[in-house]
Amino acid sequence: MVIGCIGIKRLNFLLTEIKHLVVHPVLRRYGLAKALLAGAEGAATTPLVTASIREDNTASQRLFLNAGFTIVATAAVEDHNVKLVLKEK
């Protein structure tokens, strides 16, 4: 069983994007997302890290904001809104 995963993509010398962060629903609220996010930040070799989070995903927003990310923009994408978050390492 996969308990969680995160993907990162280096966009250029300045910016790494966190592409996906998911934890199995049964195993949420145990700090796994926090650990995955910290590991991804540590693996990023750029000074800035970004992610887009669905506006209705308050748990992810809370996770990223508590990790020091700042909301820098909100955009409409298809049928929902996303918030762009950014952190300087």
Tell me which residue has tokens 């020091």.
68
CATH of the domain at 27: 3.40.630.30
Record the pTM.
Answer: 0.94
Inter-residue contact 59 to 83 (CB < 8 Å): no
User: How would you class 46 by CB atoms within 10 Å of its CB: exposed for 0-12, middle for 13-18, buried for 19 or more?
Assistant: middle
What is the per-residue pLDDT across 48-74, written as a single tens digit (0 to 9) for each? 999 999 999 999 999 999 999 999 999
**Residue 19 domain boundaries:** 4-88
User: How would you class 87 by CB atoms within 10 Å of its CB: exposed for 0-12, middle for 13-18, buried for 19 or more?
Assistant: buried
**pLDDT score recorded for residue 1:** 87
- Split into its structural domains, the chain has a count of 1
CA distance 45 to 72: 21
